[in-house]
Amino acid sequence: MVPIRDINPSRSFPLITAALIATNCWIFVEHYEEGAGFVHALNRLGYVPAEGFSWERALSSMFMHGGWLHLLFNMWTLWVFGDNVEDGLGKVGYTGLYLGAGIGAIGLHHLLYPLSEVPVVGASGAISGVMGAYLVLYPRARVYTWIPPWFFTALSARVFLILWFVLQLVQGTLDRFVNLVEGDTAGVAFWAHVGGFVVGWGVAQVFPRRPHPSEWQDLGLG
């Protein structure tokens, strides 16, 4: 399931979202090169559970990506959902959620794969937190969705995000508990997605639900 765009205009320019995208792109481009140099950068900036917990590595891993497609997909997803969550939580709250969800994602991955020597990189854990918050704040928004290879549809955010979360949960369960993978992963840190999503969902629960302009008519305000 790939989000194309949502039908949920933001109230103001998403400054923090734009800054996060720019930072992720800059760090990737700064370190990207073909061959051993890039592998070294992934090992240096990525989070490796077998080496023990590190706040510094947990943070650096959130801003490094394993390739162009990895970067572009994550940044597009952040752009689709991030602007509205930034509206709903405010810039300080949104920044805290993003970083907290990223740390929570790494923490759950570490807990389930403590022997893994594969470096974890990518903003997907933090972005999963943004998606979890979006579910709380804008469950009725519409999301244009591509279901590969050829199916396009518009789903409510509630349906899209719950289906996405269940998919991560199922794939993570198969990876860790059915295939009994302990020291490695199938290549995607599904439990990091689960952890980040739960953190974002939980954080958004403490913020008051503000009606979006698209809902004013339903409330008798339009």
Catalytic site residue 193? yes
CA distances from 42 to 35, 99, 103, 184, 205 (A): 11, 20, 18, 16, 35
Strands (DSSP E) found in 23-150 = 142-147
For tokens 């990207």, the residue is 32
128 is catalytic: no
From 65, 110, 193, 212, the catalytic residue: 193
The tokens of 19 are what? 């800054």
From 109, 110, 116, 124, active-site residue:
124
> What is residue 102's DSSP assignment?
H
> Which three-class secondary structure state does DSSP give residue 153?
strand
Instruction: Give the integer Cα–Cα distance in Å for 47 and 150.
Output: 35
Residues designated as active site: 124, 193
